């Protein structure tokens, strides 16, 4: 298996967090504008909105951090910087 074409498991985790966060956040916002007839305990804190937003932001961070090609660009930038530095080993 070629290590250049392998996707990080953290990218998959990030996408999963992103999708689940969006779904939970969407359900929480829907519930905010159309409150249920029977409200759960501590409904006024809107936990689904907070939890969905947290998952969404974490998923966004993981997805951006472990995006394909990001590591390749970082390595290319490091290689270019080391060739320009006359004191580099």
54's CB contacts (< 8 A; 6+ apart) are 21
CB 55 within 8 A of CB 16: no
Side-chain half-sphere exposure of 49, counting CA atoms within 13 A: 11
CB 8 within 8 A of CB 37: no
Backbone angles phi and psi of 7, in degrees to 5: -90, 145
pLDDT for 63 equals 95
CB 57 within 8 A of CB 21: yes
Extract the residue ranges of the chain whose pLDDT is less than 50: none
How far, in Å, CA of 72 to CA of 21, rounded? 28
């Amino acid at each position: 298996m070629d290590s250049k074409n392998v996707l990080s498991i953290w990218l998959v985790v990030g996408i999963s967090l992103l999708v689940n966060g969006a779904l939970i956040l969407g359900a929480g916002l829907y519930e905010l504008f159309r409150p249920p007839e029977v409200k759960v305990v501590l409904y006024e804190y809107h936990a689904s909105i907070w939890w969905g937003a947290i998952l969404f932001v974490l998923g966004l961070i993981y997805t951006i951090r472990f995006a394909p090609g990001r590591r390749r660009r970082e390595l290319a930038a490091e290689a270019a910087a080391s060739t320009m530095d006359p004191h580099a080993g």
